[in-house]
Amino acid sequence: MKSSLDKLERKLGYSFKDPELAVLALTHRSYGGRNNERLEFLGDSIVNFLIAEDLFQRFPEAREGQLSRLRARMVRGQTLAELAREFGLGDFLLLGSGELKSGGFRRESILADVVEALLGAIYLDSGMDACRERVQTWYASRLSTLSVTDQHNKDPKTRLQEHLQSRQQKLPDYELLSIEGKAHAQTFRVCCHVEGLADSEGKGSSRRIAEQQSALKALISLGVEVEA
């Protein structure tokens, strides 16, 4: 395990004083016993704060809504999972046999959670300054390309609403069609109604995600440029 941890530390650019914290951060609940959920809870708050702090200083003229959209883009699961893949974190995860067989080391939600858990572990190991230095380094290329005027920083629901408002059209209406699956693994289906446009349906693990997906499909149907 020590050689594996050394390799991980080189990728992260951080050496743990307490290696057990790193191991705990990599331990998924499916592995049994103690797991990284508490560290993930802590790391989630830390990354949100540190990204907000950086954006606040980076864009002194930006409005609250602009900063919120930029932060959401930086701390969303997709971005965190991208970081995890860049570090190859899937190779270090401690997963139960079921998760291993189902490819849990590739699952976006698990990868995103482990990045947050590692930040929680770094905080307990060395404090906020160490976390700040790591977040600024890990996010450097992404933060440097952000712009408060970039339409891609806005979520699909916001873009759809602004697109319709600019043309003095009625705002979209979102209808929850169904909730399927067990409580811990639900799938929401939402329909976006836009006047004069065929209905767009979205799916996701939460109603919010499903609404965003349906709004994105509506934007595409309207011929509005969307981020790949």
Q: Can you tell me the distance from the alpha carbon of 9 to that of 54, in angstroms, rounded to the nearest whole number? A: 24
| DSSP conformational letter for 170 | P
Q: Can you tell me the distance from the alpha carbon of 203 to that of 208, in angstroms, rounded to the nearest whole number? A: 10
Distant-in-sequence, close-in-space partners of 133: CB < 8 Å, separation ≥ 6? none
Q: Which amino acid is at 89?
A: L
| Positions marked active-site | 44, 116
Measured N-to-C along each axis, helices 77-87 and 2-12 cross at an angle, to the nearest 10 degrees, of 120
Q: Which amino acid is at 82?
A: E
Q: Can you tell me the distance from the alpha carbon of 228 to that of 224, in angstroms, rounded to the nearest whole number? A: 12
> Tokens 């990868």 identify what position?
111
Q: How far is CA 75 from the centre of its chain?
A: 5
